[in-house]
């Protein structure tokens, strides 16, 4: 991306399913899903020509405890 251009990434839990759902809605992807080691990645373009990354991480996100549960401790 040119200098000063923002990068946008969307996280998903199942990249193949998400790609299929977005393609059914007319989203056009730039290439297929790639395994980057840290996760599965693909890109699509939005109006204005910007590339947006769709990303399924290999790690699982830790769930935060709710404030109510923390107060009970």
DSSP the chain: --TT---EEEE-S-HHHHHHHHHHTT--BSS--EE-SSEEEEEEE-TTS-EEEEEEESSPPPPPPPHHHHHH-
Look at residue 73 in the predicted model and tell me its pLDDT. Answer: 59
Task: Return phi, psi of residue 46, to 5°.
Answer: -115, 165
- Give the pLDDT mean for 40-60: 92
Give tens-digit pLDDT for 56-72: 999 876 666 666 666 66
Q: What are the domain boundaries of the chain?
A: 8-58
Q: What is the CATH number of domain 8-58?
A: 3.30.720.110
Strands 8-11, 51-57: parallel, antiparallel or unpaired by DSSP?
A: parallel
User: Which pTM value belongs to this model?
Assistant: 0.71
């Amino acid at each position: 991306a040119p200098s000063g251009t923002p990068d946008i990434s969307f996280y998903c839990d199942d990249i193949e399913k998400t790609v299929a759902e977005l393609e059914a809605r007319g989203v056009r992807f730039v290439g297929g899903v790639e395994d980057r080691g840290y996760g599965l990645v693909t890109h699509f373009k939005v109006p204005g020509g910007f590339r947006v990354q769709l990303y399924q991480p290999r790690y699982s996100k830790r769930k935060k405890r709710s404030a109510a549960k923390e107060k009970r401790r």
